[in-house]
Amino acid sequence: RAKQEGRNTYRLFKAEMHRQDHHNLALETALRNTAESGEGLSVHYQPLFDRDSGSLQGAEALLRWTHPDFGTVSPGEFIPLAERSGLILPLGRRLMQLVGGQLRDWLDAGLAPPRVAINLSARQFWQSDLVAEVADLYATYRLPAGQIGFELTESTLLDKHQQAAATLEALRTLGCYIAIDDFGTGYSSLSYLQELPVTSLKLDRSFIHGLGQSRGSTAILAAVTGLARELGLQVVAEGVETEAQLAALGEYHVTLIQGFLTGRPVPADAFAAAYLAREPQSENSG
């Protein structure tokens, strides 16, 4: 009897696995079509503010995907799928074009967009023509130096950090700034920081959420922000949701704040309406 039940459970398990495989395959096919056509892709922008002055200092570009059958699929689902299947390369190229075009539109409209951060996964970072692609992006949309930056995770950079440093250096030369995303969740080997030409650290949100609750989080915050200050790096606190969390960052070396408390990711038009001011005219036309 137990054996029979075991068999049934196993059958259910197999059926569920089959259903999942089927779903993933259908999703991957849909994502492949999307990568080719660009249909259903858009970008949301989330503001980053200077912690002390409150001024707008940046935005993070976050990819959004809506499909006629699957509806809006969260990045938590389609980004890992895109990474596994290699579709992240064409999708990433589309995102860069969307961001470049958007920045050009804003600049042409006399608005003053802040620097925009683009997430790069390992496969994108290690493709041989990345630097050429970014140079092309700056040229095509006539972007001012410093208009675009990138976010990478520790695991992407740690593998081959000497080669990574060369690519980062080339991106820096193009005027890009570089942030290490989800900092504190990965490898805790900090020595690589001084060998890589990065400009900022983004403290992971899991870590911000632990503040004031565990003594460990506070100790790590003190150590990491102290080190960042010594190394001349900016520190971004991401995932700040409450006034209490903001207050807990207190006197530490935290440069920028990003989170639901100060602004959620929103479509480009909403971002411009809420945050972008008209560039002050250099000559007063009266």
Binding residue for Mg ion (CB under 5 A) from 65, 178, 182, 256?
Answer: 182
Least CB distance from residue 154 to ligand C2E, whole Å? 12
Options 45, 106, 147, 151; binder of Mg ion; rule CB under 5 A: 151
Q: Work out whether 243 is an interface residue with ligand C2E (CB under 6 A).
A: no
* Stretch of residues binding ligand C2E (CB under 6 A), selected from 74-82, 184-192, 211-219, 227-235: 74-82
- Contact between 259 and ligand C2E (CB under 6 A)? yes
Selected range binding ligand C2E among 3-11, 29-37, 235-243, 276-284, rule: CB under 6 A: 235-243
What's phi and psi for 145, nearest 5 deg? -55, 140
Residue of 49, 141, 239, 257 that binds ligand C2E (CB under 6 A): 239
Return the SS3 of 198.
Answer: coil
235 is a site residue for ligand C2E (CB under 6 A): no
By beta-carbon proximity to ligand C2E, the closer residue of 119 and 167 is: 119
Piece of the chain touching Mg ion by CB under 5 A; list 82-90, 102-110, 167-175, 178-186: 178-186
Q: Check: CB of residue 202 under 8 Å from CB of residue 183.
A: yes
Nearer to Mg ion, 100 or 239 (CB): 239
> Pairing state of beta strands 266-267 and 41-50?
antiparallel
C-beta separation of 76 from 89 below 8 A: no
* Between 30 and 204, CB nearer to Mg ion: 204
* C-beta of 122 vs 220, nearer to ligand C2E: 122
Return the number of other C-beta atoms located less than 10 Å from residue 30's C-beta: 18
Residues 177-196, mask of contacts with ligand C2E (x by CB under 6 A): ----xx--------------
Residue number with CB closer to ligand C2E (63 or 228)? 63
Under the criterion CB under 6 A, does residue 71 sit at the interface with ligand C2E?
A: no
Distances (CA, A) of 22 to 15, 32, 182, 260, 285: 10, 15, 32, 35, 63
203: left (phi over 0), alpha (psi -120 to 50) or beta: beta
State in angstroms the smallest separation of the CB of 152 from Mg ion: 9
Token pair 């100060």 is found at 262
Q: How far is CA 125 from CA 13, 131, 155, in A?
A: 37, 9, 12
φ, ψ for residue 120 (rounded to 5)? -120, 130
User: What is the rounded distance in angstroms from the CA atom of residue 86 to the CA atom of residue 123?
Assistant: 8
Q: How far apart (Å, rounded) are the C-alpha atoms in residues 124 and 134?
A: 11
End-to-end CA distance of the chain: 91
Identity of the residue, 80 or 226, whose beta carbon is nearer to ligand C2E in the bound complex: 80
Residues that bind Mg ion (CB under 5 A): 119, 151, 181-182, 238
Q: Which residues bind ligand C2E (CB under 6 A)?
A: 46, 62-63, 74-76, 79, 88, 92, 95, 119-121, 151, 181-182, 205, 239-241, 259-260, 265
